[in-house]
Structure 1
Amino acid sequence: MLSDEEIRAGVREVLYKNMISGRKAGFNYHYTKPSPGTYPFQYFWDTCFHVFTLTALGEVDMAKKHLHSLFEMQRPDGFVGHMSYWKRLWPAPFTDLLQLRPRDVLQLYKPHMSALIQPPVAAQAVLRIYQHSQDFSFVKQLLPKLRKYYKWLAQNRDFEGEGLLSIITPFESGMDWKASYDPLLKYSKGKAGPLLFWKVLQVDAHNFLKGYNLPRIYKSNKFVVKDAAFNTIYAQNLEAMAALCRIAGEGDGGHFMELAKQTERSILRYMYEEEDAAFYDLYGPHFKKLRVRTGTIFFPVVLKSVPDEVCRRVLERHLLQKDGFHVPFPVPSLAVDEPAFNPNGSLYIWRGPTWVVFNWFLQGYLLEKGYQQEAQELLNSVKRLISKSGFREYYDPFTGEGHGAEEFTWSGLVVDMINRQRNGFENG
């Protein structure tokens, strides 16, 4: 297995190889491509992951440039799209055209953003930079942009006023072909195939034809989902916003903390299924559970307001006792006994393979709660995957074989895991 220093050197090399900067039409951009050929644009939550990786490598100034670039094209109302197109005249796949506002299709010769959102990790990314730099001026620069962004989310995606944000296409969750969406898409064939592609494409076409008018999209209720992972991240970042407001000496931190508490209460009330000891995604205005055991059934355990008893039940049943998630290389993105499970490389991702981000997300919580050995096991699994198959988009949970994009930056989160594990033992 590669040493920690060999892994750190490899992560640094991949990040710098994929990094790009420049100026276009009055905008300055500086970002890292998740993968040179497969994912060449600036993506919202990928950029935030790059911040966690860069700060773990000590590259704080580089991390700052990434976040400035992410908010460079922010709309006056606060919106930031899930993809920023800086250099290319046309988006690569034709399907990306459906993810633009109709008016923006005519502006493709300029830098532009998609009409979609992604998990809102930006406040945590800014807070991480402050924790590593104590750069008060950076917080003061970014906080007005963050405040507008999270205000836009609350006003435009919390349709029912319960503190839960809705996504309007599978592509907004960041987990594009997630199997929990299949029942809503009326896809019952289990393993993914071309029919699923067209069903998802119809959702984007529907949104495009609605002009991305959110009230109209909500009323039509074709795809309105409250994703467990998305909303867990939202709650975490509302708390991060409260912390940033306190750091900046600005008085609205209490507002963001109240929003966070509301979101956390709703996650526990609506998403948790006691019988299954799992947190499920919801759909529609009546919050119906999508009872498919994806890897995100764990996510809300990281929230401080979720009772310890609930957290223990979820972890012991699914992670520690391996109910449905018992594989040599955890954590699979879907329980192995779900009909849609497919551990192999495929166009239809997030339906079985292991992604480093799941291990990264859970490791922090396990360390915080004293599960040192379990956290170490998640880290060791990632190190074995990278040693065996390199920095890949995802991995076969049984063999460790790498699939998907190559030189993929998300796997670089391993350096943050290494740092956290070391600090966790020192502080334990």
Structure 2
Amino acid sequence: MYAPAVSDLSAELWQSAARVLDTNWSGDHTVPSRRLYPHQWSWDAAFTAIGLAYVNPSRAWRDLRSLFEAQWPDGRVPHIVFDPDTAEDDYFPGPGVWNVPAYAGRRPRSSTGLVQPPLHALAAWEVYRHASAHGAACAGEARTELAWLYPRLVAQQDYLTERRDAGGTGLAAIVHPWESGLDDSPAWDTVLDAVPADRTLLDRHPRRDLAVADATHLPTDRDFARYLGLVLNYRDGGYSDTDLVQRHPFVVECPAFNSILAGAELSLAQIAGVLGRPGAASRHRDRAREITAALARRLWDPATRTFRARDARTGRLSPARCVSGLLPLMLPDLPADRAEAIMTEARSERFGLPAPSADRTGPDFDAGRYWRGPIWINVNWLLRRGMQVHGHHGEAETLRRAMLRLVHEHGHYEFFHPDTGAGSGAPAFSWTAALCLDLLADRSAPAYARAA
């Protein structure tokens, strides 16, 4: 298990992280990585903005604004906003496959019809906090940007909590593994087993990722055919969320997605307070408690004392233990026994810190393949926040140092081998660099935890 100690880290890591963000800036938004991801990704933009707040607050706001300028009229924020200067063939599936309608009032930039975890309210709050400390000019800009974003963030939450409550359980459902951000996690395997894998789709729509990345790190052709089939099913249904359980083959309640959804309400409560809307702040806190209670009730497996994804169509919990089950720790209203159970799981031989993306002892663990084993900085960053929220400050500091040493020794990679620490996936990866800046700043517990 890779668990190094850290004493001092020089300015070298800070400077290299800032260089990555400069390299990946496209004039209007930040791309995750030049090599593999030439467009703007939704939750990547949120993580990136958190780091940019330290080195270029104006660019952090521009990243978030660029994303939300592509928000749909129903409130959804697309998981990819396509760069019009990038050729269709440079990324698959590109805008031609998604065929998203050009709604009135939207910018002339196409997008996908899926979403990703709504981390943007948390990002906006973090950027505001740090930008406000940069002087009066930055503080004024920060308040203006926060006021512009707030109604759009609320619309995003309304879409997810209302239209995506497919099972009527108080939780948002995802309609594709890509919406989770944890794309090929073992958490989805039992649901995907019932989804046809039409390999002829790959004949008509060849994969582009295999030309620029190691195939052993990527989803298999069988899984990619299923992913593409789900895209086409949702697209051909007009991206409608009506009767999802009856007509769409993948409708899943994810513990990580819903933890971030509840956390967004807590950040919105902070934002509403700054904007002088105490009534709205109270409603956001109430909704955060409601989502937390639904998550604790619906996705908790008492037999194994873990949080798991649930198939909204069949009602069955996933048998896989994945890092997504650790992220409810970020919620301050999580019952104490559930929070302690997560810490027990995180400390166990199944995970350890930094946490791999899936259970090390599980039958589907793969140390090299995307979300089936490698260590990712972003989910460990969220896990660290949860440790701070629930008072595990010593372990949060251990995790902070381990993440920084990982990147310091191996580079700003997309993900890392859980045993050797070797960097894999896309190099010069934006959220890894951005979150390094935040970790180097070594801040205290999240503001919403202290204010609860």
Same fold, judged at TM 0.5 (above): yes
Q: CA separation in 2, counterparts of 1:258 and 1:91?
A: 46
Q: CA separation in 2, counterparts of 1:149 and 1:314?
A: 28
Q: 2:143 aligns with which of 119, 133, 136?
A: 136
Q: 2:329 aligns with which of 288, 297, 301?
A: 301
Deviation at 1:205, TM superposition (A): 2.2
CA contact (8 A) 2:18 2:55 kept: no
- 1:114 aligned residue: 112
DSSP-derived class of the 1:391 partner: coil
CA contact (8 A) 1:162 1:262 kept: no
DSSP-derived class of the 2:181 partner: coil
* Cα pair distance change 1:52/1:4, threshold 3 Å: farther
Deviation at 1:70, TM superposition (A): 1.3
- 1:150 aligned residue: 157
Deviation at 1:187, TM superposition (A): 7.5
CA contact (8 A) 1:270 1:287 kept: no
Residue type at the aligned position of 2:405 = R
Q: CA separation in 2, counterparts of 1:69 and 1:194?
A: 33
- 1:339 aligned residue: 363
More deviation, 160-169/353-362: 160-169
- 2:169 aligned residue: 162
- 2:123 aligned residue: 125
Q: 1:245 aligns with which of 272, 281, 284?
A: 272
Q: 1:323 aligns with which of 329, 341, 349?
A: 349
- 2:372 aligned residue: 351
- The answer to whether 1:182 aligns with 2:189 is yes
- 1:75 aligned residue: 72
Q: CA separation in 2, counterparts of 1:142 and 1:33?
A: 21
Deviation at 1:71, TM superposition (A): 1.2
Q: CA separation in 2, counterparts of 1:175 and 1:168?
A: 13
Q: CA separation in 2, counterparts of 1:221 and 1:111?
A: 27
- The answer to whether 1:201 aligns with 2:228 is yes
DSSP-derived class of the 2:29 partner: strand
- 1:53 aligned residue: 51
> TM-score, with normalisation over the residues of structure 2?
0.83
Q: CA separation in 1, counterparts of 2:223 and 2:75?
A: 33
Give structure 2 stretches of 5+ with no counterpart: 1-5, 133-138, 196-216
| CA root-mean-square deviation | 2.5
Q: Determine what percentage of the aligned residue pairs are the same residue.
A: 27
Q: 1:291-339 deviations in whole A, cap 9, x for unaligned?
A: 21111111112211112222112212x222x23114xx62100011111
More deviation, 274-283/214-223: 214-223
- The answer to whether 1:6 aligns with 2:12 is yes
Deviation at 1:146, TM superposition (A): 1.7
Q: CA separation in 2, counterparts of 1:98 and 1:276?
A: 44
Q: CA separation in 2, counterparts of 1:91 and 1:244?
A: 40
Give structure 1 stretches of 5+ with no counterpart: 22-29
Q: 1:101-154 deviations in whole A, cap 9, x for unaligned?
A: 45469xxx9521110100001111111122221533322222122222222222
Query: Going by fraction, where is strand more abundant, 1 or 2?
Result: 1
Q: 1:84 aligns with which of 81, 85, 97?
A: 81
- The answer to whether 1:265 aligns with 2:293 is yes
> TM-score, with normalisation over the residues of structure 1?
0.87
Q: 1:74-107 deviations in whole A, cap 9, x for unaligned?
A: 23332321111122242634434586245469xx
* Cα pair distance change 1:70/1:325, threshold 3 Å: same
Deviation at 1:199, TM superposition (A): 2.3
Higher-RCO chain (CA-CA 8 Å, sequence separation at least 6):
2
Residue type at the aligned position of 2:432 = S
CA contact (8 A) 2:37 2:91 kept: no
The aligned runs of 1:263-412 (5 Å cut-off) are 263-285=291-313, 287-316=315-344, 318-320=345-347, 322-326=348-352, 330-344=354-368, 346=369, 349-412=370-433
Tell me the number of residue pairs that the alignment of Structure 1 and Structure 2 aligns.
403
* Cα pair distance change 1:368/1:241, threshold 3 Å: closer
More deviation, 211-220/165-174: 211-220
- 1:19 aligned residue: 25
Q: 1:379-409 deviations in whole A, cap 9, x for unaligned?
A: 2222222122211011101001111001011
CA contact (8 A) 1:98 1:208 kept: no
Q: 1:238-257 deviations in whole A, cap 9, x for unaligned?
A: 12112212221223233322
CA contact (8 A) 1:98 1:205 kept: no
Q: CA separation in 2, counterparts of 1:99 and 1:263?
A: 34
